[in-house]
Amino acid sequence: MSMIKDIELDHFMNGVIRRNPGETEFHQAVQEVAVDIIPHIRHNETVKKMRILERMTEPDRIVSFRVIWEDDKGNIRVNRGYRVQQNNAIGPYKGGIRFHPTVTQSVLKFLAFEQVFKNSLTGLPLGGGKGGSDFNPKGKSDREIMRFCQAFMTELSKYIGPNTDVPAGDIGVGGREVGYMFGQYKRLIDRFEGVLTGKGVEFGGSKIRPEATGYGVVYMMQAMLKQKSQEMAGKVCAVSGSGNVAQYCVEKLLELGAKVVSMSDSGGTIYKETGISKDDLLWIMNLKNVRGGRISEAEAGIGAEYLEGKRPWQIECELAFPCATQNEIEADDAKSLIKKGCKAISEGANMPSTPAAIEIFREGKIVHAPSKAANAGGVAVSGLEMSQNSLRMSWSREDVDNHLRNIMADIHDQCVANGTNSNGDVDYFKGANIAGFEKVSRAMLAYGAI
Q: Which residues bind ligand NDP (CB under 6 A)?
A: 169-172, 213, 241-246, 265-267, 323-325, 348-350, 375, 378
CA dihedral of residues 443, 29, 130, 101 (deg, nearest 10): -170
User: 376 or 426, CB closer to ligand NDP?
Assistant: 376
How many whole angstroms from its chain centre is CA 329? 15
Whole-Å CA distances, 444 to 38, 45, 55, 310, 439: 17, 15, 9, 44, 9
User: 2 or 102, CB closer to ligand NDP?
Assistant: 102
Buried residues in 219-244 as b, exposed as e (16+ CB within 10 A): bbbbbbbeeeeeebeebbbbbbbbbb
Nearest to 324 by CA among 213, 428, 437: 213
User: 245 or 360, CB closer to ligand NDP?
Assistant: 245
The single residue of 94, 130, 199, 372 carrying the catalytic annotation is 130
User: 118 or 259, CB closer to ligand NDP?
Assistant: 118
Nearest residue to ligand NDP on Cβ basis: 243
Contact 434, 50 (CB under 8 A): no
Nearest to 13 by CA among 345, 190, 33: 33
Q: What is the number of other CB atoms lying within 10 angstroms of the CB of residue 296? A: 17
**Shortest distance, position 346 Cβ to ligand NDP, whole Å:** 12
**Shortest distance, position 422 Cβ to ligand NDP, whole Å:** 32
What are the strands of the beta sheet with 93-99, ordered from one edge? 61-70, 76-87, 128-133, 93-99, 165-168
**Shortest distance, position 76 Cβ to ligand NDP, whole Å:** 26
CA distance 254 to 236: 11
**Shortest distance, position 10 Cβ to ligand NDP, whole Å:** 29
CA distance 357 to 108: 22
List CB contacts of 171: < 8 A, sequence separation 6 or more.
Answer: 98, 99, 100, 243, 325
The secondary structure of 404-432 as a DSSP string is HHHHHHHHHHHHHHHHB-TTS-B-HHHHH
**Shortest distance, position 213 Cβ to ligand NDP, whole Å:** 4
- In the residue annotation, 49 being an active-site residue is answered as no
User: 245 or 329, CB closer to ligand NDP?
Assistant: 245
**Shortest distance, position 243 Cβ to ligand NDP, whole Å:** 2
User: 120 or 213, CB closer to ligand NDP?
Assistant: 213
CA distance 354 to 436: 21
**Shortest distance, position 185 Cβ to ligand NDP, whole Å:** 19
User: 265 or 318, CB closer to ligand NDP?
Assistant: 265
Q: Report the DSSP pairing between strands 367-369 and 259-265.
A: unpaired
DSSP-based helix, strand, coil % in the chain, nearest 5 = 50, 15, 35
CA distance 406 to 233: 21
> Which residues form the catalytic set?
130
